[in-house]
Amino acid sequence: MTARLDTTTQSPQLFRKFGEISMALKKSSLEHPLQALVEIRASQINGCTFCLDMHVKQATLQGEKPLRLHHVAGWRESTLFSPRERAALAWTEALTTLSPQGVSDELYRQVRGEFSEQEITELTYAVMVINGWNRLNVAFRTPPGVLDQAYGLDKAGLAV
């Protein structure tokens, strides 16, 4: 895959601001393993190999179990995820693939049963942000792994 252009040099201020939102989410009340699941699932749905590669490597470095990472795509059938994680994954899917009917009351009740109002807001921002990154990297064909060394992701031991 050949990158179409480098957004960091074409629009550095916007790239920096979007990065600031991402960093603020890392300081939110949502636990990091949950955020990783959200990032991975949205990236799978959106076909963003750059983000999928990055977030699997980050999750690995943070101690996530490999089998759970393999099960994210089939989380509904897997027994490896808690009710809280399942609610977050369902919310991620609903917001990533918005239906004409929007988000159902049933799903909102499920999410509300696992998350506080603040956490639901932060979870929604997490889904919004990863979808934005996905769209940016899919549009401009950012090759997976190009920032591994810069972000320390080469330490995950997942290079080809």
**pLDDT tens, residue by residue, 65-118:** 999 999 999 999 999 999 999 999 999 999 999 999 999 999 999 999 999 999
DSSP state for residue 97 in the 8-state scheme? T
**Residues contacting 103, CB < 8 A, separation 6+:** 91, 94, 95
Give the residue extent of every domain in the chain.
30-155
Are the C-beta atoms of 153 and 147 separated by less than 8 Å? yes
Structure tokens at 105: 């009351």
Tell me the per-residue pLDDT of 16-58, one tens digit each, with 9 for 90 and over. 999 999 999 999 999 999 999 999 999 999 999 999 999 999 9
How would residue 151 be classed by pLDDT, with cut points 50, 70 and 90? Answer: confident
**Residue 132 clears pLDDT 70, i.e. is over it:** yes
Which CATH number does 30-155 carry?
1.20.1290.10
For the chain, give the mean pLDDT. 95
The whole-angstrom separation of Cα 42 and Cα 95 is 9
The whole-angstrom separation of Cα 136 and Cα 126 is 15
Mean pLDDT, residues 132-136 taken together: 98
**pLDDT given for residue 40 in this prediction:** 98
The whole-angstrom separation of Cα 102 and Cα 61 is 35
